[in-house]
Amino acid sequence: MAANIRAWSPEDSVAELTDLLHAAYAPLAARGLNLVGLTQTDEMTARRIARGECMVAADSGHIVGTLLFVRRSQDTEWYRRPDVGVVFQLAVHPDYQHQGIGSRLIAAVERRARATGCTELALDTADSASHLIAWYGRHGFRRVGRLQWPGRGHRSVILSKRLAGGRRG
């Protein structure tokens, strides 16, 4: 199956996206991680979508993957840099994992970030999620810092990737 990577559409279902996040993050909850995507409401999902540019992977009319791109975020010093774009809530439904959808979402957001003038693309994940840190490492991300999100019982690592061909903005 070849999921189509595209921008969020007003016709897309916020509830379906929320359900996807819950399903995709459930294995991390089993590891004891308390992530926002596990419990966020449809209202929170809608607010997050409005915060940036949501991309989805759709297969047969269903959302099977997603991420949120924010051109510049105020969350951390690294994210506030004018050359840094930030990815939040990269998720692929468990039934669709290990099929390249996450890699295709990363490639799509890299193109978008370069087009908006970013020379770096950053994200964060739980410090204890070694499998995710390794996956991002295989996609060219490196550790650049740490952070502690309020209300979370774990620290996160900030990962960033230098984007070839990005315009200084």
From the centroid of its chain, how far is CA 12?
A: 18
Tell me what pLDDT residue 151 has.
61
Which whole number is the average pLDDT over 137-163?
86
Domain membership flag for residue 89? yes
Domain extent for 89: 4-162
Summarize pLDDT for 25-82 with one digit per residue, the tens: 888 777 776 666 778 899 999 999 999 999 999 999 999 999 999 997 777 889 999 9
The Cα–Cα gap between 42 and 84 comes to 28
pTM for the whole structure: 0.90
The amino acid at 114: R
Q: Are strands 84-92 and 120-126 parallel, antiparallel or unpaired?
A: parallel
| Better-predicted residue by pLDDT, 23 or 154 | 23
Q: Judging by beta carbons within 10 Å of its beta carbon (0-12, 13-18, 19+), is residue 92 exposed, middle or buried?
A: buried
Of the listed ranges 5-19, 32-46, 107-121, the least confidently predicted one is: 32-46
Domain membership flag for residue 30? yes
Domain membership flag for residue 54? yes
C-beta of residue 90 within 8 angstroms of C-beta of residue 66: yes
Domain membership flag for residue 62? yes
Give me the percent of the chain exceeding a pLDDT of 70.
Answer: 89
C-beta of residue 159 within 8 angstroms of C-beta of residue 133: yes
The amino acid at 82: P
Count of domains forming the chain: 1
Domain membership flag for residue 139? yes
| DSSP conformation class of 129 | -
